[in-house]
Each structure stands twice: as structure tokens, then as C-alpha cells.
Structure 1
Amino acid sequence: MKAWYREHLGVGGGCGTDDKGESNEWVWFTKGGPMVFEPFKADSDYFAADKQAMINLRVSELDALLDKLRKAGIEVITKSEWDAMPEIGRFARVHDPEGNPIELWEPANAS
């Protein structure tokens, strides 16, 4: 799983954006920006009922990332209603090999 996340999404140990070079096999440092913690109700239909949580990754150049994921054979889900508030940004969803949902969020100011 670690290799899948590193290869396709550029996250995980050794994928640092830190200028100090402190990222290593176990940790990575990210660029500053908003983080979201949003628990959902148990009866939410926002993601599969058999999943407890969803990873939300802040990205830039969403279209290029989606193209790369599609070329790797990864299903990409987009919906116009997810992008209904352009001041927040754009969204897409993929699933890792174990079926965990991953929301990709390109904030409005990321381009």
C-alpha cells in the first residue's frame, strides 16, 4: 500500500516537500495550507457505508494528476455537484487497492 500511495499520489514516507530534507522512509513534510477534519454521520451517502473514513488530499494541477491516474488504470470519479462552489475548489475521487476512498481537492487558489 505504501508503494501505491507513493507512486500514484506522491504521499508517504520519503515524499517530502520540506526544504530541510527531514523527510525519510517513515515521515514526510507537506507545504502549508488548510487541513480539513469533517466527521460524517453514520447514514451519510458521501462514501461507502462499509468505510469509516476517507482521506482527503490537497493537490495542485488536478487535471494533470487525474490524467496520470487514468493512464495507470485507476478509476477516477468526478461529479459536477462536487465543484458547485468554485471559491472552495475542485474535487475528484479515487480508491486505493483496498477500496478506501481518497478525495483529491484542488483549492481555488492552488493553480
Structure 2
Amino acid sequence: MAVTGIGGFFFRAREPEALRAWYVKHLGVGSAPYGIWETMAGPSVFAPFPADTDYFPEDRGFMLNLRVDDLEGLCASLRAAGIAVITNPEWDMPGVGRFARIHDPEGNPLELWQPDEGG
């Protein structure tokens, strides 16, 4: 008996419906009833970080990482929609993948990850 994957991600929002609509529009996440979202099989990372990490903002208890298949294309689309996208070549890890960061309208940090081929 084992866990087979992440079954959901639940978090508080000041304006849940508006935030859900933002995720659907810009990231294609949770558009089906009840927010159901069919994902492709692939790697996921489950990693608690030290309380004093600087990997994501100190005032946030989590950072959602979303696996993507075309990081450059998605970043271009987000920028065209007026969403600030942060990239840093130091974040990219050979054998792991490339990364970008954005924030949703409520300030929640999101990391976008395009795994390296085979990663």
C-alpha cells in the first residue's frame, strides 16, 4: 500500500472564485467541476524546507511548483498578459530542468518547472 500521487492542493484565498478563474485562464489548472484537473504522469517533488529557507518568501508557508512542457512559451504568454515572470539561470539544474517564478493575484508564489528530457 503506497501513495500514488498528489490528490489535491487546497489553500485559503480571499477571493476563491476569482483566484480559481485566474489559474484556469493563465495556467489551465482546475477548469473542470470541483477544480478537477487531469495531469500527465511525470515526476513530482515532495520536499519540506527549513523554516528559515530563502527559496520562497518568508511570509508564505508553501510554494506550489507546477510542471510544464514549454517553459519559454508559457512565460511569453504570461508576460503578454501582464504577469511578472522571474527567471534566473542559477535556478536551472542540468539533469533536473529549468525554472521560472510568478505570483498569483493573492501573492502566492508559484514555481514553473520544465523537467529535462528523461527527468
Q: TM-score, normalised by structure 2?
A: 0.80
1:19-57 residue CA offsets vs partner (Å, 9 max, x unmatched) = xxxxx4431211100111111111101111000000000
Runs of 4+ deviating beyond 2 Å: none
Instruction: Kindly report the root-mean-square deviation, in angstroms, between the aligned alpha carbons of the 2 structures.
Output: 1.2
Is 1:107 aligned to residue 115 of structure 2? yes
* Partner SS, residue 91 of structure 1: strand
Partner residue, 2:63: 54
Which residues of structure 1 form unaligned runs of 5+?
15-23
List alignment gaps of at least 5 residues for structure 2: 1-18
- Give 3-state SS (helix, strand or coil) of 1:60's partner: coil
Q: Write the letter of the residue equivalent to 2:24.
A: R
Residue type of the alignment partner of 1:103? E
Residue 40 of structure 2 corresponds to residue 31 of structure 1: yes
Q: Pick one of 83, 90, 101 that aligns with 1:93.
A: 101
Per-residue CA deviation, residues 60-84 of structure 1 (Å, 9 max, x unaligned), is 111000000000000001111101x
- Percent sequence identity over aligned pairs: 58
Specify the alignment match of 1:45 in structure 2: 54
Match of 2:30? 12
Name the count of aligned residue pairs.
100
Aligned-partner Cα distance in 1 for 2:91–2:34:
34
Matched, 1:73 2:82: yes
Hey, what's the Cα distance between the residues in 2 that align with 1:104 and 1:70?
14
Mapped to 1, the partners of 2:35 and 2:60 lie a distance apart of: 25
Amino acid of the structure 1 residue aligned with 2:117: N
